[in-house]
Structure 1
Amino acid sequence: MLINMLKIMTIIKKYIDKLVSILCILILASMTILVSYQVISRYIFNNPSAISEVLSRYLFVWLILFGGAYVFGLREHMYIAYIKHKFSQKAQIIFDMISEIAIATFAISIMILGGYNSTIRQMWQLDSALQIPMGIIYSAIPLSGALIIFYFIYNELSLYRNLKLLK
């Protein structure tokens, strides 16, 4: 059952990874265009654009949140491995599982629950430059938290399978 569930999640993960990577690429491309426009309008035309400045700032936050979730899903996030590698392979997997649980706890409590509450509370407040609800901007927090939880489940199942293979 575990193997079948992991196979299904691997297929879903592949599509989610592709979607998130494309989203991050599009955000970065948009930021590049917006910042270039901002520089040109400020220094050549002497007429800075408030919209491009604010939008690029919000896109940068979205890039960090979704990029962080994506890197977590790839298990390429930073960690200090020196002490972990002093233990047996079984202990290393257990440490990885505990680390994943700590990150998932943060994602659920702060990002999903706290982010959702902030998003809902800020739906009535409009951004002064873009004239869109701030809740739309804040929605990146619970969305990236949900991505982290999906990756957490996938990673835990993979680690558990690896742990069972060691026995």
Structure 2
Amino acid sequence: MERIAKLSDAVLRAALVICVSVLVICVTWQVSSRYLLNAPSTVTEEIARFTLMWFALLAAAYVLGGRRHLAIDLFASLEVGPVKRAISVLLTVLIIVFALAFLAGGWFLASETLASGQVTPTLRLKMGYIYLAVPIASILMLIYCGDILRTALGPDARGPNDPLVTDHTDDLVKGN
């Protein structure tokens, strides 16, 4: 599971860099064409909108894998032990339930939209392909949850709210 999570990390990092690059290029061209050429581009607005959607969903999966997602870390200060392990497993199971619901809903949305033949107004792409970001992000979240469960049940009992890598920036801020 760890290998799959690391491969997912590498693929997601590349995909996210591509998404941000496409967003920067599209928005720069959109603003330039509107204000400098006085002829706004309709294509770049649609590309930017769909790229932002893919970016947000893929980034949500990526930060879950890096354990950098928004979290209430009320129990993060607990020492390693059975209580912390139980809380880590419970939180991960809740994330899995959410990801499964997200997967089912996203798959339904994408497949129904593909079946209906709905296309985007400007690019004429099938909307179902755009909506595939939801189930793909869900599958990635489930992969990361499997890795989180592996570590939560291991000897260190790291859960979804515990940092993946020890970061010493707090020590630097405190002057240690």
How would you bin the TM-score normalised by the shorter chain? 0.7 to 0.9
More helix by share: 1
- 1:130 match: secondary structure: coil
Q: Distance in 1 between matches of 2:3 and 2:43?
A: 39
TM-score (norm 2): 0.83
Do 2:4 and 2:143's aligned partners in 1 also have CA atoms closer than 8 Å?
no
Q: Distance in 1 between matches of 2:76 and 2:131?
A: 38
Find the counterpart in structure 2 of residue 126 from structure 1: 119
Q: Distance in 1 between matches of 2:76 and 2:142?
A: 26
Q: Distance in 2 between matches of 1:154 and 1:11?
A: 9
Q: Does 1:161 align with 2:154?
A: yes
Find the counterpart in structure 1 of residue 2 from structure 2: 10
Please state how far the C-alpha of 1:161 moved relative to its aligned partner.
Answer: 1.1
Q: Distance in 2 between matches of 1:107 and 1:85?
A: 22
Find the counterpart in structure 1 of residue 96 from structure 2: 104
- 2:10 match: secondary structure: helix
TM-score (norm 1): 0.87
Do 2:30 and 2:45's aligned partners in 1 also have CA atoms closer than 8 Å?
yes
Please point out which of 145, 168, 173 is paired with 1:152. Answer: 145
Amino acid at match of 2:138: G
Q: Could you say if the C-alpha distance between residues 131 and 15 of structure 1 is closer, same or farther in structure 2, counting changes exceeding 3 Å?
A: same
Structure 1 unaligned residues grouped into runs of 5+: 1-8
Find the counterpart in structure 2 of residue 80 from structure 1: 72
